[in-house]
């Protein structure tokens, strides 16, 4: 078959474009696979410089949203929040007394938590700036952080573990990351396996006989009794032998500015 000259030329240029695209793809993929994580820490540090800009965009969006909300609705919400604060303050008084007693008892048996070393790290990026329910923090192996270190939001509220540790930054995978599983104890006694669902939510199942309720906590295994999740809703279909609990992290990961990393390598 005789192919006209200009058609052949167009065909050749189309083939060469595809070959060029393929070569670029292979080079880019190789670069990302072999060099990617090494430079991500520096990129995040660079983006952290722009955090005032992002903060400005966020607060601007919040201001617009607040303007759109109705005044009576805001007043009602304000009243509800004030009563909630009062209730929480009275609960906190009891909680502090129990904490003090707990520390005293541990000290008597030689199991004080102060032996555990931890460092404070700033959050460079959190969801929704990052995918997969992860946090980027500004401390890494130079500060003693290693993969698997537990991360807390302070006061025994665990939120995740260190997933990747670079020299000056690290990535924290929240317990709520999709597919992440973790053992715990419902109200400190019933063993459960908690599975992350993404976007700060988690789920677990318990036998129907256990009377769980909204607000119950999941304690992380260990003497410290750290809280890792809180029950936010439950589903108990009649006649079913299991109940499904829907959980959330004890703090809002979207608003975290600092976290505490418990160093396992130092122990």
Partner 1 sequence: MRFPSFWISLLLLILGFLVYWPLGVVAIFLAALYHHFIPAIIYGAFMDILYGPPPVFLHFLHIPFTLLTVVFVVVILFAERILRRRKSAATL
Minimum Å gap between C-beta 230 and partner 1 is 21
CA distance 10 to 190: 70
CA distance 130 to 136: 8
- Interface segment toward partner 1; rule CB under 8 A; list 78-86, 100-108, 163-171, 237-245: 163-171
CA distance 139 to 144: 9
21 binds partner 1 (CB under 8 A): yes
Q: Can you tell me which of 140, 184, 196, 253 binds partner 1, judged by CB under 8 A?
A: 196
Could you give the string, one character per residue 116-155, with x where binding to partner 1 holds by CB under 8 A and - elsewhere? ------------xxxxx-x---------------------
| Among the listed residues 267, 253, 224, the one whose alpha carbon sits nearest the alpha carbon of residue 137 | 253
Using CB under 8 A, which residues numbered 48 to 77 contact partner 1? 50, 53-54, 57-58
Minimum Å gap between C-beta 28 and partner 1 is 4
For the beta carbon of residue 227, count every other beta carbon within 10 angstroms.
20
Q: Residue 216 in contact with residue 185, Cβ under 8 Å?
A: no
User: Phi, psi at residue 91, to the nearest 5°?
Assistant: -65, -40
Minimum Å gap between C-beta 172 and partner 1 is 10
For 64, 179, 235, 255, the CA distances from 56, given in Å and listed in that order, are: 12, 33, 40, 15
Minimum Å gap between C-beta 141 and partner 1 is 15
Using CB under 8 A, which residues numbered 84 to 103 contact partner 1? none
| Among the listed residues 145, 169, 138, 173, the one whose alpha carbon sits nearest the alpha carbon of residue 159 | 173
DSSP state of 156: T
- Interface segment toward partner 1; rule CB under 8 A; list 18-26, 93-101, 103-111, 216-224: 18-26
Q: Can you tell me which of 11, 15, 19, 39 binds partner 1, judged by CB under 8 A?
A: 39
Minimum Å gap between C-beta 149 and partner 1 is 15
Could you give the string, one character per residue 175-194, with x where binding to partner 1 holds by CB under 8 A and - elsewhere? --xxxx--------------
Q: Is 253 exposed, middle or buried (0-12, 13-18, 19+ CB in 10 A)?
A: buried
Residues that bind partner 1 (CB under 8 A): 21, 24-25, 28-29, 31-33, 35-37, 39-40, 43-44, 47, 50, 53-54, 57-58, 128-132, 134, 163-164, 171, 173, 177-180, 196, 198
């Amino acid at each position: 078959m005789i192919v006209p000259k200009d058609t052949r030329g167009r065909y050749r240029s189309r083939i060469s474009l595809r070959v060029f695209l393929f070569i670029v793809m292979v080079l880019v993929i190789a670069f990302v696979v072999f060099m990617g994580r090494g430079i991500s820490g520096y990129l995040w540090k660079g983006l952290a410089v722009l955090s005032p800009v992002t903060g400005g965009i966020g607060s601007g969006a919040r201001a617009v949203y607040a303007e759109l909300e109705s005044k009576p609705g805001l007043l009602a919400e304000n009243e509800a929040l004030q009563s909630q604060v009062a209730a929480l303050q009275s609960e906190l008084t009891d909680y502090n007394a129990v904490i003090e007693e707990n520390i005293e008892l541990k000290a008597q048996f030689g199991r004080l938590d102060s032996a555990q070393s931890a460092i404070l790290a700033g959050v460079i990026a959190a969801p929704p700036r990052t995918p997969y329910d992860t946090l980027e923090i500004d401390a890494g192996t130079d500060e003693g952080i290693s993969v698997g270190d537990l991360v807390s939001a302070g006061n025994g509220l665990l939120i995740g573990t260190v997933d990747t540790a670079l020299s000056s930054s690290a990535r924290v995978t929240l317990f709520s990351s999709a597919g992440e599983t973790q053992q715990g104890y419902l109200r400190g006694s019933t063993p459960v396996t908690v599975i992350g669902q993404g976007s700060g939510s988690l789920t677990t199942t318990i036998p129907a006989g256990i009377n769980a309720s909204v607000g119950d906590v999941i304690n992380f295994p260990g003497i410290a009794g750290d809280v890792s999740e809180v029950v936010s809703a439950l589903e108990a279909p009649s006649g079913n032998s299991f109940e499904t609990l829907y959980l959330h992290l004890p703090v809002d990961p979207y608003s975290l500015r600092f976290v505490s990393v418990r160093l396992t390598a130092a122990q």
